[in-house]
Amino acid sequence: MSTPLADPASAQFATNPPRELPTRRGTELVLLAFATFIVTIALVLVEANQEQELTSSIIWLGLSYLGVLTAAHLAVRRWAPYADPVILPCVALLNGLGLVMIHRIDLALAERAIQQGKEYTPDVTKQVLFTAISLVLFVVVLVVISDHRTLTRYGYICGLVGIVALALPAVLPSSLSEVNGAKVWIKLPFFSIQPGEFAKILLMIFFASFLVTKRDLFMVAGKKIAGVELPRARDLGPILIAAAACLGVLVFEKDLGTSLLFFGVTLVMLYVATERIIWVVLGVGFFAAGAIIAYNLFTHVQQRVRNWIDPLATYDDAGGGYQVAQGLFGLGTGGVGGTGLGAGRPDMVPEAKTDFITTAIGEELGFIGLAAMLMLYLILAMRGMRSALAVRDTFGKLLGGGLSFALVMQIFVVVGGVTNLIPNTGITAPFLSRGGSSLLANYILVALLLRISDAARKPAARPKPQQPQAPLAEAHTVMVQRPSANGEGSAS
Amino acid sequence: MNTPLRKVGIAMLVMVVLLLANATYIQVVKADDYRTDSRNLRVLYEEYSRQRGLIVTPDGSALAKVDPSNDKYKFIRTYADGPMYAPVTGYYSINYGSGGLERSEDDVLNGSDPRLFVRRLSDMVTGRDPRGGNVKLTINPAVQKAAYDLMTQKGYTGSVVAMEPKTGRILAMVSTPSYDPNKLASHVGKEQIAAWGQWRDDPKKPMLNRAISETYPPGSTAKLIVTAAALEDGKTPDMPVNTAPNVKLPGTQTTLENYGGAACKGSTLKEALRYSCNVPFAELAGELGKEKLNATAKNFGVGEDLTVPMRVAGSTLGPLDSKAALFQSAIGQRDVRLTPIQDALLSATIANNGMAMKPQLVQSLLAPNLSTIEDYKPSELTGDAAMSSANAAILRDMMLASEENTKGAGKRGDIQIASKTGTAEHGNDPKNTPPHAWYTGFAPAMDPKIAVSVIVESGGNRGLEATGGTVAAEIGRAAVNAMLGGG
């Protein structure tokens, strides 16, 4: 553990021998190679089971995936050298499996199209393109946001842009915003985006920066009603307005899944900031009331609930449990071990490439594969949460906690929905599902998590080597240090 | 803030555990329910990729086999002489499931039969693709071809069933018009859909297996049951009968008359059967009563649950709840309904000294390597004879006389057939609807090798003038000749 960089002169002032924290970038590279290996094997299995000719192109595909990831890895090495080494490999594996699964369903749908004498354009090429774009954006975020604390300056702007982005599809005419009944799109001439995916991150930045500045007010100021201390309306105002706005927008857009996601994340961030469970209790209470009202007002909510109680009973209804039932059939057929990659029939489930891609994994890789996938998400989110715990600024803690929780919340809503644990609401599985917006947004999310983890693991005193490292001063230094100073220091 | 963050971390853990628990419930506990749900087409699709077993004739030629295909199903089902054998093989379709033998013997053909378990296990270990077992039929291709060719050549709608009287083995099962199961097995979706739609909408119902799934009024062939019951009751072939051209139905103003309203040309029971007079049999049935008729009919198989192994539609004499009903039922009208295979059983039972044998279409089930899994042994249908062998011999002689009196083509001096014809009225306006033409018999009369039944719906090409003799007899004789006379 001794390090050649340790300055013998300064060592006498340190209570602990100065040591260089390992960056663990080597670990990351090995894990990335491992992820690529698994993805390549998965691709080989699909091709073999689908009776495609095994060609050397698979190896090239595997190598190019490794190449793209190596570029991302090098970017992390350069711009976030102390970032958590497990996060990127987890994402690489999930994204790779998603690509293989989309390719696999493409093959099945293409064959069906040939039988019916129709044309079919595979989705996977587009998704590969989006992966590349996402990784570029990922690097851009790492470079531009050299310190996550700079984001606090743009909290309100983020909030405003987020709400506008979220509300835009609801305001736009259906011809520009509706795809398959969900009014959550902005359709541009060459591509479409789901602004809600990006609003998710913008709003989390807003909540985090807002709560950091106001958390003291939440905890002390305000009246006490029935033993509960409530903050003053003017302190709570912006957050209530923001929350109400997103929920309202989402109800009008009929996007229940995203609404559930926003709600959960807002509640968790509020709880972390105030350290009071009463917020969760109040929130759940509001949610229950809102759910009951929504159930009574909207027929599509009632239908969802009926489908949830027994998807097989409403199998034949219009808007009934057909889709969920097909997903359950797939999961049941897969059983514990799965049918094998490329040997199942996941294409029989409608929307198998987007919302129901997790049932495709459950069918072909079985419970074992599905559980492994859930564990990957859990590891990813837990590494994020660890970074949030370790990072020294409250904004970083709040944002890191929120982003980590958002990952698990998304997977809970989508997997819970397709496995009938909760009513099914359309939402994408991060990194797995087809869809550019979701992929881009989640890569940005991960870039932010990496930035926070880098800040958490970066040795705080390194920027100014001349200054003796006084043990107790260390923590306080971070609190008063200006963000820009830290950023310059690490870049030098 | 670390305390709440840790708690959120625990909440995240709990959420994933919830998902895992639910996934366990679905993929482990409820997996079988979902997998086998009739709406889950995956298992079905899986089967289409398996090398399905063959359906072969006794001489080993395949009626249904699989050819390799270059699509994802790996194999395509093909049928030799599809339309001729469709009532026997049935169909096997990705869109429409299976029918006929393909369905009844599905477990063996797709390899999931428990008796193939050890082999499946070894397939799994050796990595060999699982294969289905084979089904060997009792069908005699010569008889099937002769009957089918003549039926289609004449453009008849109807059915021919032939069986071996001593064993119940089905030698031919023809239903016309027929369909080509190859089109339903096609992997081209459009072709399947077009074929299915066309046959479903065809008023002639080509996919109906008339031999076992349709019941008809049997007309005068039902007199065999009445005669058997009468002989068992102690009547003799020489007993005098009423030669009047008609008789009033008891309790009504309606009369029942002989064919063409003529007086009966003979005055004994034997002569009555020979000339197929109606009045004597009506009176005989009235005298015998419901119980005796039903008892005899039951031992001919009427009302028995038959599977060959396809399910056979139920035959019945009807409720027989009045004397008038007995009168009319005696000549195979009113509520009497027989399937063609049941009609063939009448002749087969007489030919087999009064004992009905269970009809069977499957000779044996074979493993993929052609070793035998199960050999079907002939078995008695009810265990009770429909009549004594002495009475069966008397009835045989009466049928020989009937055959002598029956016109129609196909008679050969060297083959002695015992037979009975039938001409059955049906429809809402029976007198102006072409009747169904029946012919049932067996040969050689003294050492029966084949029993046959023919029905030609609605008079074939003879319209109102059709009789069993002029329309159906020729086809029945062609089937017999194919079996015994080399064509």
CB count within 10 Å of CB B193 equals 14
Predicted local distance difference test score (pLDDT) of residue A461: 58
Interchain CB contact of A119 with B (< 8 Å): no
User: Given pLDDT bands bounded at 50, 70 and 90, which one contains residue A88?
Assistant: very high
Q: For position B391, which CATH number holds?
A: 3.40.710.10
Residue B183 lies in a domain: no
B37 → chain A, closest CA residue: A329
Interchain CB contact of B9 with A (< 8 Å): yes
Interchain CB contact of B5 with A (< 8 Å): yes
User: Given pLDDT bands bounded at 50, 70 and 90, which one contains residue A379?
Assistant: very high
Residue A483 lies in a domain: no
Tens digits of pLDDT across chain B (487 residues)? 789 999 999 999 999 999 999 999 999 999 989 988 878 888 777 777 778 889 999 988 899 998 888 776 778 899 999 899 999 999 998 888 889 999 999 888 888 788 877 766 666 666 556 778 899 999 999 999 999 999 999 889 999 999 999 999 999 999 989 999 999 988 887 888 889 999 999 988 999 999 999 999 998 888 899 999 989 888 888 888 888 888 888 888 888 888 877 888 888 888 888 888 888 888 888 888 888 889 999 999 998 888 989 999 999 888 888 888 888 888 888 888 999 999 999 999 999 998 999 999 999 999 888 888 888 999 898 888 889 898 999 999 889 888 888 887 778 878 888 999 888 888 878 888 888 899 999 989 889 999 999 999 888 777 777 788 888 888 999 999 898 876 5
Write the pLDDT tens digit of every residue in A267-324: 899 889 888 887 788 788 888 888 888 889 888 888 888 999 999 988 888 878 899 9
Q: Which of A152-156, A160-164, A259-263, A401-405 has the lowest mean pLDDT?
A: A259-263
Predicted local distance difference test score (pLDDT) of residue B165: 93
Predicted local distance difference test score (pLDDT) of residue B346: 92
Looking at the structure of chain A, the number of domains it has is: 1
User: Given pLDDT bands bounded at 50, 70 and 90, which one contains residue A115?
Assistant: low
Predicted local distance difference test score (pLDDT) of residue A1: 42
Residue B296 lies in a domain: yes
When CB atoms are compared, the residue of A273, A334, A398 closest to B27 is: A334
Q: Which candidate in B2, B3, B5, B40 is best for mutational testing of the A interface (most A CBs within 10 A)?
A: B5
Residue A16 lies in a domain: no
State percent of chain A over pLDDT 90: 41
Contact status, residue B332 vs residue B259, Cβ threshold 8 Å: no
Interchain CB contact of A409 with B (< 8 Å): yes
Predicted local distance difference test score (pLDDT) of residue A487: 46
Q: Which tokens belong to A103?
A: 């390719």
Residue A289 lies in a domain: yes
Residue B358 lies in a domain: yes
Residue B202 lies in a domain: no
Predicted local distance difference test score (pLDDT) of residue B24: 95
Q: Do A348 and B41 touch (CB under 8 A)?
A: yes
Average pLDDT estimate for A372-388: 96
Residue A19 lies in a domain: no
Residue A122 lies in a domain: yes
A313 → chain B, closest CA residue: B39
The answer to pTM > 0.90 is no
B2 → chain A, closest CA residue: A389
Single-letter amino acid code for the residue at A474: E
Residue A331 lies in a domain: yes
Residue B444 lies in a domain: yes
Predicted local distance difference test score (pLDDT) of residue A73: 94
Contact status, residue A258 vs residue A427, Cβ threshold 8 Å: yes
Residue B65 lies in a domain: no
Interchain CB contact of B6 with A (< 8 Å): yes
Domain range for A346 is 25-457
What distance in Å separates residue A376's CA from the closest CA in chain B?
11
Give me the residues of B, 53-92, that contact A with CB < 8 A: 71-72
Residue A319 lies in a domain: yes
What distance in Å separates residue B5's CA from the closest CA in chain A?
6
Cis peptide before B444 (omega within 30 of 0): yes
Looking at the structure of chain B, the number of domains it has is: 1
A414 → chain B, closest CA residue: B19
Q: Do B1 and A397 touch (CB under 8 A)?
A: yes
Residue A482 lies in a domain: no
CB count within 10 Å of CB A475 equals 10
Q: Do A329 and B71 touch (CB under 8 A)?
A: no
Assembly ipTM: 0.88
User: Given pLDDT bands bounded at 50, 70 and 90, which one contains residue A425?
Assistant: confident
What distance in Å separates residue B103's CA from the closest CA in chain A?
22
User: Given pLDDT bands bounded at 50, 70 and 90, which one contains residue A11?
Assistant: very low
Q: Is the pLDDT of residue A486 over 70?
A: no
Domain range for B279 is 219-363+383-485
Mapping DSSP onto H, E and C, the string for chain B reads CHHHHHHHHHHHHHHHHHHHHHHHHHHHHCHHHHHHCCCCCHHHHHHHCCECCCEECCCCCEEEEEEECCCCCCEEEEECCHHHHHHHHCCEECCCEECCHHHHCHHHHHCCCHHHHHHHHHHHHHCCCCECCEEEECCCHHHHHHHHHHHHHCCCCEEEEEECCCCCEEEEEEEECCCCHHHHHCCCHHHHHHHHHHHHHCCCCCCCCHHHHCCECCHHHHHHHHHHHHHHCCCCCCCECCCCCEEECCCCCCEEECHHHCCCCCCEHHHHHHCCCCHHHHHHHHHHHHHHHHHHHHHHCCCCCCECCCECCCCECCCCCCHHHHHHHHCCCCCCEECHHHHHHHHHHHHCCCCCECCECEEEEECCCCCEEEECCCCECCCCCCCCHHHHHHHHHHHHHHHHHCCCCCCCCCCCCEEEEEEECCCCCHHHCCCEEEEEEEECCCCCCEEEEEEEHHHCCCHHHCCHHHHHHHHHHHHHHHHHCCC
Q: Which of A169-173, A395-399, B74-78, B126-130 has the lowest mean pLDDT?
A: B126-130
Q: Do B19 and A375 touch (CB under 8 A)?
A: no
Average pLDDT estimate for A85-106: 94
Backbone angles phi, psi at B44, to 5 degrees: -60, -50
Write the pLDDT tens digit of every residue in A178-217: 877 777 888 887 778 888 899 999 999 998 998 888 877 7
Q: Which candidate in A280, A408, A419, A422 is best for mutational testing of the B interface (most B CBs within 10 A)?
A: A408
B382 or A395: whose pLDDT is higher?
A395
Interchain CB contact of A221 with B (< 8 Å): no
Residue B111 lies in a domain: no
